[in-house]
Chains A and B, each alone.
Chain A
Amino acid sequence: MWRTAKVVSLRNETTTARTITFEVPDWPGHLAGQHVDVRLTAADGYTAVRSYSIASAPSSDAHIEITVERLPNGEVSPYLTEELVVDDRVELRGPIGGWFVWRTQQAEPVQLIAGGSGIVPLMAMIRSRASAGSNAPFRLLYSVSEPAAVFYRDELRAVSDHDHSVGLTYTYTRVAPEDWPRVPGRIDPTLIASATWPSQHSATCYVCGPTSFVETAARLLTGSGYSPDKIRTERFGPTGDRQ
């Protein structure tokens, strides 16, 4: 069923991505990792539907956030990132998904691996952990093309600085900051070995990003000793778009 959601605030995350906060009457609540489908309708009745991960932690109010990246040839993302203004309305369906979720009762170590905009549902997990006061040990490996592409940088720094049970590793595929110890490139076994929980910790892994990234990361995890049933995956399209 579709609910009408109203835009209550907008925040730029990067030059091409922004976070949209919606007020959703009768929002039933959600779990970190779930997504919503967003439906836009043109005046002539033409509709387009796209899926976006919920970025905000579960809460008791009727607001949720999504972070949308503008895709160069997108049909919906340019509208959401450039045209949409406060008080506009869209339709939402959800929350959707019961597999790629982190529940606050989970106490075991968690390994998060994000490729590009795959950070969004994992950020919801980090936020959910914080708002629930959980001490579950978390590690995040966040792969982006370049520093300017990072979402939530300040918040991630604050979390990892203040909470030593949240480890944060960035890795860059195209352009790295000056003096970065690692040459820009895709994730590889060495990085997995140094930045993720050793497999003996039996961490639950959540991997999200473009399909090719997810396949690579999952393969590297199983190659380093993780059992496949400890790895949960969510694939975005080849360009990061879930449509």
Chain B
Amino acid sequence: MSIISRGFSGRRSGADVKLPPGQYLTTDFPVLSAGPTPHVSLDRWELTIDDGTKVLRRWDWKSFRDLPVETFTVDLHCVTRWSKLGTRWEGVSLDTILADVESDASYALAHSYGDYTTNLPLKDLMNRKAWIAFRFNGEDLAPEHGGPARLLVPHLYLWKSAKWVRGITLIHEDQPGFWEQLGYHNYGDPWREQRHWGD
């Protein structure tokens, strides 16, 4: 049993807003990472959708930026317990990205530049639930926050919103990604506090 440190409360703040269980509100935008920030030049950047065998769709930066863009405001919930509300983004909806993609796959594995991966059910990318986001707060997305472009899936914990996204593989059998292999919940719904295996 730990001793209590007199007068220590940490960084957390109470707030009147409704947060998922166990979260605290932050006005910062903490940078968390599992590795070095990749620096991807726009003339080499690509986004691909593949089925594990062949590429189904590919965009370079120019063709990606020709896609219809949405502006949206969402709340972010990180499994390390901070929540940042009302964040403004611009990005391309996964509904646009996956339109005309024919697949009977039920799952997706997102890949980043670097070696990060994360998995989720394909339906959690559809129906206005996910974007490839490239602008935050009116500015180009900074590299430490996942720029040039990141996946954004705000209804799940933020580790599912793969920074520096380079592609999404559509798969028939679910495949745990980087953190899901090592203790983190396979789905990750903040409102049901699904942080870890067995939650």
Interface segment, B4-12, B39-47, B85-93, B95-103?
B4-12
Whether a CB of chain B sits under 8 angstroms from the CB of A230 is: no
Whether a CB of chain A sits under 8 angstroms from the CB of B63 is: no
Across-interface contacts of B17 in A (CB, < 8 A)? none
Interface segment, A83-91, A143-151, A198-206?
A83-91
Question: Would A46 and B12 count as touching, CB distance under 8 A?
Answer: yes
Chain B, 1-38, contact with A by CB distance < 8 Å: what is the 0/1 string?
Answer: 01111111111100000000000000000000000000
Cα distance A42–B11 in the bound complex, in angstroms:
11
Cα distance A43–B11 in the bound complex, in angstroms:
13
Across-interface contacts of A45 in B (CB, < 8 A)? 2
Question: Would A83 and B8 count as touching, CB distance under 8 A?
Answer: yes
Cα distance A88–B8 in the bound complex, in angstroms:
11
Whether a CB of chain B sits under 8 angstroms from the CB of A104 is: no
Across-interface contacts of B9 in A (CB, < 8 A)? 42-43, 46
**Does more than half of chain A's interface fall in helix, strand or loop, or is it mixed?**
strand
Cα distance A42–B2 in the bound complex, in angstroms:
10
Question: Would B3 and A89 count as touching, CB distance under 8 A?
Answer: yes
Across-interface contacts of A43 in B (CB, < 8 A)? 4, 9
Across-interface contacts of A183 in B (CB, < 8 A)? none
In the complex, how many angstroms separate the beta carbon of A235 from the nearest chain B beta carbon? 14
Whether a CB of chain B sits under 8 angstroms from the CB of A152 is: no
Cα distance A75–B3 in the bound complex, in angstroms:
18
Chain A, 161-181, contact with B by CB distance < 8 Å: what is the 0/1 string?
Answer: 000000000000000000000
In the complex, how many angstroms separate the beta carbon of A104 from the nearest chain B beta carbon? 34
Cα distance A39–B8 in the bound complex, in angstroms:
11
Cα distance A47–B3 in the bound complex, in angstroms:
10
Q: Which residue of A lies closest to B7 (CB)?
A: A83
Question: Would A42 and B3 count as touching, CB distance under 8 A?
Answer: no
Cα distance A39–B4 in the bound complex, in angstroms:
10
Question: Would A41 and B3 count as touching, CB distance under 8 A?
Answer: yes
Cα distance A47–B5 in the bound complex, in angstroms:
9
Question: Would A2 and B5 count as touching, CB distance under 8 A?
Answer: no
Cα distance A85–B35 in the bound complex, in angstroms:
38
Whether a CB of chain B sits under 8 angstroms from the CB of A40 is: yes
Across-interface contacts of B5 in A (CB, < 8 A)? 40-42, 79, 88-90
From the candidates A4, A75, A90, name the one contacting B10 in the complex (CB within 8 A): A75
Whether a CB of chain B sits under 8 angstroms from the CB of A132 is: no
Q: Which residue of A lies closest to B12 (CB)?
A: A46
Knowing A2-B2, A39-B2, A41-B2, the reply to whether A46 touches B7 (Cβ < 8 A) is no
In the complex, how many angstroms separate the beta carbon of A4 from the nearest chain B beta carbon? 6
Across-interface contacts of A90 in B (CB, < 8 A)? 3, 5
A residues 77-133 touching B (CB-CB < 8 Å): 79, 83, 88-91
Question: Would A46 and B10 count as touching, CB distance under 8 A?
Answer: yes
Cα distance A42–B13 in the bound complex, in angstroms:
13
Interfacial residues, chain A to chain B (CB-CB below 8 A) = 2, 4, 39-43, 45-48, 75, 79, 83, 88-91
Interfacial residues, chain B to chain A (CB-CB below 8 A) = 2-12
**What are 9 contact pairs spanning A and B, CB under 8 A?**
A39-B2, A41-B3, A45-B2, A46-B10, A79-B8, A83-B8, A88-B5, A89-B5, A90-B3
Q: Which 7 A-B pairs have the closest CB atoms?
A: A40-B5, A41-B2, A75-B11, A40-B8, A42-B9, A83-B7, A46-B10
